[in-house]
Amino acid sequence: MKVGIIDYGGGNLRSVANALLALGQEPQVIASPDQAAGVTHLILPGQGAFGDCMERLENRGLDTFLKDWIAADRPYFGICVGYQILFDSSEEAPGVRGLGCVPGRVRRFRDEPGLKIPHMGWNSAVATGGESPVWHDLGAEPYFYYVHSFFPEPLDPAVCVAETTYGTQTFAAAVGRGRLFACQFHPEKSQDAGIRLIQNFLKP
């Protein structure tokens, strides 16, 4: 096994790398497709904006590389913006195309009285329909750490692995399909539950 962390010039690589080191893995940083030789698992720890992330990936030739990787059902773990870019588009960046690997769009939280945006801090995630091996042994309602103003809305509810509610709005906290798994929260900042999630992703 060789784990690669996608570096598009804007992600939180260090925290994810530290989580992998704690699991006995020495990740390889990948800033271009030619650096991915021998890699078996990919993690994209995104931070920042949808449009900026897509532009940086395209400039490095990583957008097509990622689409081909995911289409081949090779292990991919997307975090935060690394989750959002899997979808077709985002209200955050009108006119910018996402990878389109998961049909749907990314929406902004609706304004509600007393609701702070961004959604920041700890919140629970409830498993929904079906079984994902990445979600194994996490308990009925694990807590994870979130920092976001936008969330994906998949067209096919069957890909949703877990849901989280913020205010009156419930959104897909995580999706899974084949060897693809992605989540809106930050497992690398979510203590034991987050480490368990990453460990499950690395299992054969």
pLDDT of residue 140: 82
pLDDT of residue 130: 62
Superfamily per CATH, domain 3-202: Class I glutamine amidotransferase (GATase) domain (3.40.50.880)
Candidate list 41, 101, 183, 188, residue with the active-site label:
188
pLDDT of residue 48: 86
Q: Where are the beta strands (DSSP E) in 12-142?
A: 28-30, 41-46, 76-80, 89-90, 104-108, 119-124, 126-127
Mean pLDDT split into 10-residue runs, the chain, 204 residues: 94 91 96 97 93 97 98 98 98 98 98 96 90 87 97 96 97 97 97 97 92
Candidate list 80, 101, 160, 183, residue with the active-site label:
80
Structure tokens at 31: 């800033």
Is 186 an active-site residue? yes
Can you tell me the distance from the alpha carbon of 111 to that of 42, in angstroms, rounded to the nearest whole number?
A: 35
Is 80 an active-site residue? yes
Q: What is the DSSP string of 125-166?
A: -EE-SS--GGGTT--SS-EEEEEESEEEEES-GGGEEEEEEE
Is 58 an active-site residue? no
pLDDT of residue 61: 97
Candidate list 41, 119, 148, 186, residue with the active-site label:
186
Domain regions of the chain by residue span? 3-202
